[in-house]
Amino acid sequence: SEYSQEPPRDPCLKEPFNAEPPRSALVSSYVTPVHLFYKRNHGPIPIVDHIENYSVAVTGLIDNPKMLFIKDIRSLPKYNVTATLQCAGNRRTAMSKVRNVRGVGWDVSAIGNAVWGGAKLADVLELLGIPKLTGFTTLGGSHVEFVSVDRCKEENGGPYKASIPLSQATNPDADVLLAYEMNGEILNRDHGFPLRVVVPGVIGARSVKWLDSINLLAEECQEITKKEKVKEEKIKWNCIQAWIKSTEVIAKAVDSAANVQPENVESVWNLRGVLNTSWHRVLLRLGH
Ligand code: MTE
Ligand code: MO
Protein backbone atom coordinates (compact mmCIF):
# COMPACT_ATOMS: atom_id res chain seq x y z
CA SER A 1 0.00 0.00 0.00
CA GLU A 2 0.94 3.69 -0.16
CA TYR A 3 1.84 3.59 3.54
CA SER A 4 3.88 0.36 3.46
CA GLN A 5 7.22 2.21 3.70
CA GLU A 6 6.55 4.36 6.77
CA PRO A 7 9.46 4.79 9.22
CA PRO A 8 9.35 2.90 12.56
CA ARG A 9 7.67 4.88 15.37
CA ASP A 10 7.36 4.69 19.13
CA PRO A 11 4.44 2.35 19.90
CA CYS A 12 2.87 4.83 22.38
CA LEU A 13 2.01 7.14 19.47
CA LYS A 14 -1.23 6.51 17.65
CA GLU A 15 -1.12 5.11 14.13
CA PRO A 16 -0.21 6.00 11.50
CA PHE A 17 0.89 9.54 10.80
CA ASN A 18 -0.92 12.11 12.86
CA ALA A 19 0.21 11.37 16.35
CA GLU A 20 0.79 13.07 19.68
CA PRO A 21 2.42 11.72 22.83
CA PRO A 22 0.64 11.26 26.15
CA ARG A 23 0.63 14.38 28.39
CA SER A 24 2.97 12.74 30.90
CA ALA A 25 5.63 12.15 28.22
CA LEU A 26 5.45 15.75 27.07
CA VAL A 27 6.13 17.29 30.47
CA SER A 28 8.94 14.91 31.39
CA SER A 29 11.64 17.04 29.72
CA TYR A 30 12.14 20.61 28.45
CA VAL A 31 13.42 19.43 25.07
CA THR A 32 10.98 16.90 23.64
CA PRO A 33 12.76 13.68 22.58
CA VAL A 34 12.43 13.09 18.84
CA HIS A 35 10.59 9.77 19.25
CA LEU A 36 7.91 11.45 21.39
CA PHE A 37 7.56 14.62 19.29
CA TYR A 38 4.10 14.95 17.67
CA LYS A 39 3.88 14.16 13.97
CA ARG A 40 1.56 15.92 11.56
CA ASN A 41 1.45 14.83 7.93
CA HIS A 42 -0.93 15.40 5.05
CA GLY A 43 0.20 12.37 2.99
CA PRO A 44 2.61 9.42 3.02
CA ILE A 45 6.16 10.14 4.25
CA PRO A 46 8.22 10.61 1.07
CA ILE A 47 11.43 8.66 0.58
CA VAL A 48 14.28 10.99 -0.30
CA ASP A 49 17.45 9.06 -1.09
CA HIS A 50 20.59 9.81 -3.10
CA ILE A 51 21.25 12.79 -0.87
CA GLU A 52 24.22 13.87 -3.04
CA ASN A 53 21.73 14.61 -5.81
CA TYR A 54 19.11 16.19 -3.56
CA SER A 55 18.68 19.87 -4.29
CA VAL A 56 16.37 22.76 -3.48
CA ALA A 57 15.36 24.94 -6.40
CA VAL A 58 15.12 28.63 -5.61
CA THR A 59 12.86 30.27 -8.17
CA GLY A 60 10.20 32.92 -8.70
CA LEU A 61 10.73 36.66 -8.49
CA ILE A 62 14.53 36.66 -8.26
CA ASP A 63 17.19 37.67 -10.74
CA ASN A 64 19.19 34.42 -10.63
CA PRO A 65 17.18 31.23 -9.99
CA LYS A 66 19.47 28.54 -8.55
CA MET A 67 19.70 24.94 -7.34
CA LEU A 68 21.07 24.50 -3.84
CA PHE A 69 22.59 21.15 -2.87
CA ILE A 70 22.80 19.83 0.69
CA LYS A 71 26.54 20.61 0.68
CA ASP A 72 25.78 24.28 -0.17
CA ILE A 73 23.43 24.50 2.79
CA ARG A 74 25.86 22.68 5.11
CA SER A 75 28.68 25.01 4.07
CA LEU A 76 26.83 27.99 5.57
CA PRO A 77 27.27 28.77 9.29
CA LYS A 78 25.31 26.26 11.39
CA TYR A 79 22.94 27.51 14.07
CA ASN A 80 21.19 25.59 16.82
CA VAL A 81 17.83 27.15 17.57
CA THR A 82 15.60 25.90 20.38
CA ALA A 83 12.08 26.43 19.09
CA THR A 84 8.60 25.17 19.83
CA LEU A 85 6.45 23.78 17.05
CA GLN A 86 2.73 23.69 17.67
CA CYS A 87 0.01 22.58 15.31
CA ALA A 88 -2.69 25.22 14.82
CA GLY A 89 -5.17 22.47 15.72
CA ASN A 90 -3.61 21.68 19.09
CA ARG A 91 -6.32 21.57 21.82
CA ARG A 92 -8.96 21.16 19.13
CA THR A 93 -10.76 18.56 21.22
CA ALA A 94 -11.43 21.21 23.88
CA MET A 95 -12.85 23.49 21.19
CA SER A 96 -15.05 20.75 19.81
CA LYS A 97 -16.73 20.47 23.21
CA VAL A 98 -18.19 23.95 22.66
CA ARG A 99 -19.51 22.88 19.26
CA ASN A 100 -18.37 20.32 16.72
CA VAL A 101 -15.32 21.25 14.62
CA ARG A 102 -13.48 19.64 11.66
CA GLY A 103 -9.92 18.34 11.74
CA VAL A 104 -7.51 15.96 13.46
CA GLY A 105 -8.76 15.36 17.01
CA TRP A 106 -5.74 16.67 18.88
CA ASP A 107 -5.67 16.70 22.65
CA VAL A 108 -3.06 19.05 24.19
CA SER A 109 0.19 17.49 22.98
CA ALA A 110 0.45 18.53 19.30
CA ILE A 111 3.29 20.70 20.54
CA GLY A 112 6.97 20.06 21.11
CA ASN A 113 10.22 21.81 21.83
CA ALA A 114 13.33 20.83 19.88
CA VAL A 115 16.84 22.04 19.19
CA TRP A 116 16.91 22.50 15.41
CA GLY A 117 20.27 22.62 13.67
CA GLY A 118 20.78 24.13 10.24
CA ALA A 119 21.47 27.19 8.13
CA LYS A 120 19.61 30.46 8.56
CA LEU A 121 17.27 31.16 5.67
CA ALA A 122 18.56 34.77 5.71
CA ASP A 123 22.06 33.43 4.89
CA VAL A 124 20.69 31.16 2.14
CA LEU A 125 18.80 34.04 0.53
CA GLU A 126 21.85 36.26 0.80
CA LEU A 127 23.78 33.64 -1.22
CA LEU A 128 21.18 34.22 -3.93
CA GLY A 129 21.62 37.96 -3.91
CA ILE A 130 18.70 38.86 -1.66
CA PRO A 131 20.06 41.16 1.05
CA LYS A 132 19.28 40.74 4.75
CA LEU A 133 16.42 42.67 6.35
CA THR A 134 14.61 43.38 3.12
CA GLY A 135 10.89 43.65 2.56
CA PHE A 136 10.92 43.41 -1.24
CA THR A 137 13.13 41.89 -3.94
CA THR A 138 14.20 43.91 -6.96
CA LEU A 139 11.41 42.24 -8.91
CA GLY A 140 8.76 43.01 -6.32
CA GLY A 141 8.51 39.68 -4.49
CA SER A 142 7.32 39.99 -0.91
CA HIS A 143 6.66 36.41 0.27
CA VAL A 144 8.82 33.32 0.42
CA GLU A 145 6.99 30.10 -0.38
CA PHE A 146 8.23 26.67 0.65
CA VAL A 147 7.13 23.70 -1.46
CA SER A 148 7.57 20.11 -0.34
CA VAL A 149 8.07 16.86 -2.22
CA ASP A 150 5.19 15.12 -0.41
CA ARG A 151 1.77 14.62 -1.96
CA CYS A 152 -1.23 15.79 0.05
CA LYS A 153 -4.50 13.94 0.11
CA GLU A 154 -6.42 17.19 0.58
CA GLU A 155 -4.69 19.03 -2.27
CA ASN A 156 -5.65 16.42 -4.88
CA GLY A 157 -2.16 14.96 -4.79
CA GLY A 158 -0.37 18.31 -5.08
CA PRO A 159 2.61 19.12 -2.89
CA TYR A 160 2.31 20.63 0.58
CA LYS A 161 3.27 24.31 0.67
CA ALA A 162 3.22 27.44 2.81
CA SER A 163 4.77 30.89 2.81
CA ILE A 164 6.14 33.57 5.14
CA PRO A 165 6.76 37.29 4.56
CA LEU A 166 10.13 38.12 2.94
CA SER A 167 10.86 40.53 5.81
CA GLN A 168 10.79 37.55 8.23
CA ALA A 169 12.75 35.27 5.89
CA THR A 170 15.61 37.75 5.47
CA ASN A 171 15.77 38.79 9.14
CA PRO A 172 18.60 36.82 10.79
CA ASP A 173 17.05 37.50 14.23
CA ALA A 174 13.82 35.76 13.21
CA ASP A 175 15.85 32.50 13.31
CA VAL A 176 14.07 30.92 10.33
CA LEU A 177 16.12 27.80 9.59
CA LEU A 178 16.61 25.29 6.85
CA ALA A 179 17.19 22.50 9.35
CA TYR A 180 18.97 19.21 8.81
CA GLU A 181 19.26 18.28 12.50
CA MET A 182 16.77 17.83 15.33
CA ASN A 183 18.08 17.51 18.91
CA GLY A 184 21.61 16.96 17.63
CA GLU A 185 20.68 14.06 15.37
CA ILE A 186 20.18 13.95 11.62
CA LEU A 187 16.55 14.92 10.96
CA ASN A 188 14.51 11.72 10.60
CA ARG A 189 12.01 10.92 7.86
CA ASP A 190 8.93 11.70 9.96
CA HIS A 191 10.22 15.21 10.65
CA GLY A 192 11.33 16.10 7.12
CA PHE A 193 14.60 14.34 6.15
CA PRO A 194 16.79 15.60 4.61
CA LEU A 195 15.76 19.25 4.99
CA ARG A 196 12.88 21.16 6.53
CA VAL A 197 12.00 24.73 7.26
CA VAL A 198 11.61 25.78 10.90
CA VAL A 199 9.76 29.06 11.41
CA PRO A 200 9.78 29.90 15.13
CA GLY A 201 6.82 31.71 16.63
CA VAL A 202 4.08 30.90 14.10
CA ILE A 203 1.79 27.89 13.50
CA GLY A 204 3.62 24.64 12.76
CA ALA A 205 2.03 24.50 9.31
CA ARG A 206 4.61 26.97 7.97
CA SER A 207 7.54 24.74 8.93
CA VAL A 208 7.49 22.80 5.67
CA LYS A 209 9.15 19.37 5.72
CA TRP A 210 11.00 17.60 2.85
CA LEU A 211 11.76 20.91 1.20
CA ASP A 212 11.79 20.75 -2.60
CA SER A 213 11.76 24.39 -3.67
CA ILE A 214 11.70 27.95 -2.39
CA ASN A 215 9.74 30.44 -4.48
CA LEU A 216 9.80 34.19 -4.21
CA LEU A 217 6.20 35.34 -4.63
CA ALA A 218 4.52 38.70 -4.96
CA GLU A 219 1.85 37.67 -2.45
CA GLU A 220 1.15 35.22 0.34
CA CYS A 221 0.69 31.56 -0.67
CA GLN A 222 -3.03 30.76 -0.36
CA GLU A 223 -2.77 27.14 0.84
CA ILE A 224 -2.68 27.84 4.55
CA THR A 225 -5.16 30.62 4.20
CA LYS A 226 -7.58 27.99 2.95
CA LYS A 227 -6.56 25.26 5.39
CA GLU A 228 -5.88 26.90 8.70
CA LYS A 229 -7.22 30.46 8.69
CA VAL A 230 -10.91 30.66 9.40
CA LYS A 231 -13.80 33.00 9.80
CA GLU A 232 -14.86 33.19 13.35
CA GLU A 233 -18.45 32.46 14.01
CA LYS A 234 -20.18 33.94 16.98
CA ILE A 235 -22.09 31.41 18.97
CA LYS A 236 -24.62 31.59 21.76
CA TRP A 237 -23.45 29.74 24.72
CA ASN A 238 -25.15 28.64 27.86
CA CYS A 239 -22.94 27.87 30.72
CA ILE A 240 -24.00 25.46 33.42
CA GLN A 241 -21.88 25.48 36.50
CA ALA A 242 -21.84 22.77 39.08
CA TRP A 243 -20.21 23.02 42.47
CA ILE A 244 -17.75 20.26 43.18
CA LYS A 245 -14.95 20.11 45.70
CA SER A 246 -12.15 20.79 43.25
CA THR A 247 -9.59 23.31 42.12
CA GLU A 248 -8.33 24.42 38.74
CA VAL A 249 -4.76 24.98 37.59
CA ILE A 250 -4.62 27.55 34.80
CA ALA A 251 -1.82 28.38 32.36
CA LYS A 252 -2.03 31.65 30.44
CA ALA A 253 0.54 33.75 28.64
CA VAL A 254 0.97 37.53 28.78
CA ASP A 255 3.38 39.28 26.42
CA SER A 256 5.54 42.35 27.00
CA ALA A 257 2.80 44.58 25.50
CA ALA A 258 0.36 43.17 28.11
CA ASN A 259 -1.66 41.18 25.57
CA VAL A 260 -3.34 38.30 27.42
CA GLN A 261 -4.60 35.05 25.97
CA PRO A 262 -8.41 34.78 25.84
CA GLU A 263 -9.99 33.44 29.00
CA ASN A 264 -12.52 31.11 27.43
CA VAL A 265 -12.50 28.78 24.45
CA GLU A 266 -16.03 29.94 23.50
CA SER A 267 -14.69 33.33 22.37
CA VAL A 268 -12.22 31.74 19.91
CA TRP A 269 -14.37 28.86 18.62
CA ASN A 270 -14.19 28.32 14.83
CA LEU A 271 -15.31 25.62 12.44
CA ARG A 272 -11.81 24.30 11.71
CA GLY A 273 -10.96 24.03 15.38
CA VAL A 274 -7.67 25.91 15.12
CA LEU A 275 -5.81 28.50 17.20
CA ASN A 276 -7.23 27.49 20.55
CA THR A 277 -5.16 29.99 22.49
CA SER A 278 -7.56 30.11 25.44
CA TRP A 279 -6.26 29.58 28.98
CA HIS A 280 -5.36 25.96 29.49
CA ARG A 281 -7.26 24.66 32.49
CA VAL A 282 -6.61 21.42 34.30
CA LEU A 283 -9.19 20.40 36.87
CA LEU A 284 -7.78 18.81 39.99
CA ARG A 285 -10.29 16.79 41.93
CA LEU A 286 -9.47 16.89 45.61
CA GLY A 287 -9.92 13.80 47.75
CA HIS A 288 -13.22 13.49 49.62
N1 MTE B 1 5.32 19.77 5.69
C2 MTE B 1 4.98 18.89 4.74
N3 MTE B 1 5.76 18.75 3.68
N4 MTE B 1 3.86 18.15 4.82
C5 MTE B 1 3.02 18.27 5.90
O6 MTE B 1 2.02 17.56 5.95
N7 MTE B 1 2.56 19.46 8.02
C8 MTE B 1 2.70 20.77 8.66
C9 MTE B 1 4.17 21.11 8.89
N10 MTE B 1 4.95 20.84 7.71
C11 MTE B 1 3.35 19.22 6.91
C12 MTE B 1 4.55 19.94 6.77
C13 MTE B 1 1.99 20.90 9.91
S14 MTE B 1 0.34 21.25 9.80
C15 MTE B 1 2.65 20.87 11.12
S16 MTE B 1 1.82 21.23 12.55
C17 MTE B 1 4.10 20.56 11.21
O18 MTE B 1 4.67 20.30 9.93
C19 MTE B 1 4.35 19.33 12.07
O20 MTE B 1 5.72 19.03 12.13
P21 MTE B 1 6.19 17.65 12.73
O22 MTE B 1 5.46 16.53 12.07
O23 MTE B 1 7.67 17.61 12.53
O24 MTE B 1 5.87 17.71 14.21
MO1 MO C 1 -0.43 21.75 11.91
What is the value of pTM for the model shown? Answer: 0.86
Tell me how far the alpha carbon of residue 195 lies from the centroid of ligand 1, in angstroms. Answer: 12
Residue range 102-115, pLDDT digits in tens: 888 899 999 999 99
Q: What pLDDT, on the 0 to 100 scale, is given for residue 13?
A: 59
Query: Confidence band (pLDDT; 50, 70, 90) for 122?
Result: very high
Q: How many CB atoms lie within 10 A of CB 21?
A: 25
Please indicate, yes or no, if residue 10 is contained in any of the structural domains. Answer: no
Please indicate, yes or no, if residue 234 is contained in any of the structural domains. Answer: no
Please indicate, yes or no, if residue 3 is contained in any of the structural domains. Answer: no
Q: Residue 207: CB within 6 Å of ligand 1?
A: yes
Contact 9, 19 (CB under 8 A): yes
Q: Do 184 and 263 share a domain, yes or no?
A: no
Q: Do 266 and 151 share a domain, yes or no?
A: no
Q: Is the pLDDT of residue 224 over 70?
A: no
Please indicate, yes or no, if residue 217 is contained in any of the structural domains. Answer: yes
Please indicate, yes or no, if residue 239 is contained in any of the structural domains. Answer: no
Q: Where are the alpha helices (DSSP H) in 35-129?
A: 70-74, 92-96, 121-127
Please indicate, yes or no, if residue 146 is contained in any of the structural domains. Answer: yes
Percent of the chain with pLDDT over 70: 88
Looking at the structure of the chain, the number of domains it has is 2
Residue range 24-62, pLDDT digits in tens: 999 899 999 999 999 999 888 899 988 889 999 999 998
Contact 113, 153 (CB under 8 A): no
5 versus 165: the higher-pLDDT residue is 165
Q: In this structure, which residue's CA is closest to atom 2 in ligand 1?
A: 209
Q: Do 95 and 222 share a domain, yes or no?
A: yes
Q: Do 88 and 36 share a domain, yes or no?
A: yes
Whole domain around residue 268: which residue ranges?
246-285
Q: Is the pLDDT of residue 88 over 90?
A: yes
Please indicate, yes or no, if residue 213 is contained in any of the structural domains. Answer: yes
Q: Residue 212: CB within 6 Å of ligand 1?
A: no
Q: Do 168 and 59 share a domain, yes or no?
A: yes
Average of per-residue pLDDT values in the chain: 86
ipTM of the complex: 1.00
